[in-house]
Amino acid sequence: MNYRLRYFASLADVAGCGEETIVSDAHTPRALYPELATRHGFRMAMDRLRVAVNGALVDWEHALADNDEIVFLPPVSGG
């Protein structure tokens, strides 16, 4: 399936881009993140991240659909 990934903060720095489209057989965020970590060299552990699909927070077993926009959110630091 095709997924649109967006990256923020340190993940964007490590990936060297703010967004990309990838093709993957992963059907859940839990399966997808390790692929991206390998591809980009992310060292941030999954238990530090939250995940959003199409603008809403979801759990790690959420069933991904073709063309979903997926964001792995590192710990936030607003305020």
Partner 1 sequence: MMRFRLSDIAIDGAAERRALAADAAGACVVFEGWVRDHNDGRSVQRLDYQAYAELANNEGERIIAEAISKFEVTDARCIHRIGNLVIGDIAIWVGVAAAHRGSAFDACRWIVDEVKLRVPIWKNEHYADGDSGWLHPDGKAVAEY
Q: Shortest distance, CB of residue 26 to partner 1, whole angstroms? A: 21
Adjacent-strand bridge partners of 56: 53
What are 6's two structure tokens? 């967006």
Contact 28, 61 (CB under 8 A): yes
| Residue with smaller CB distance to partner 1, 10 or 67 | 10
Residues that bind partner 1 (CB under 8 A): 6, 8-14, 42-45, 48, 52, 55-57, 71, 73-79
Nearer to partner 1, 32 or 70 (CB): 70
Q: How far is the CB of 36 from partner 1 (least distance, A)?
A: 13
CB of 25 to partner 1, least distance (A): 26
Q: Please provide the distance, in angstroms rounded to a whole number, between the alpha carbons at the two ends of the chain.
A: 37
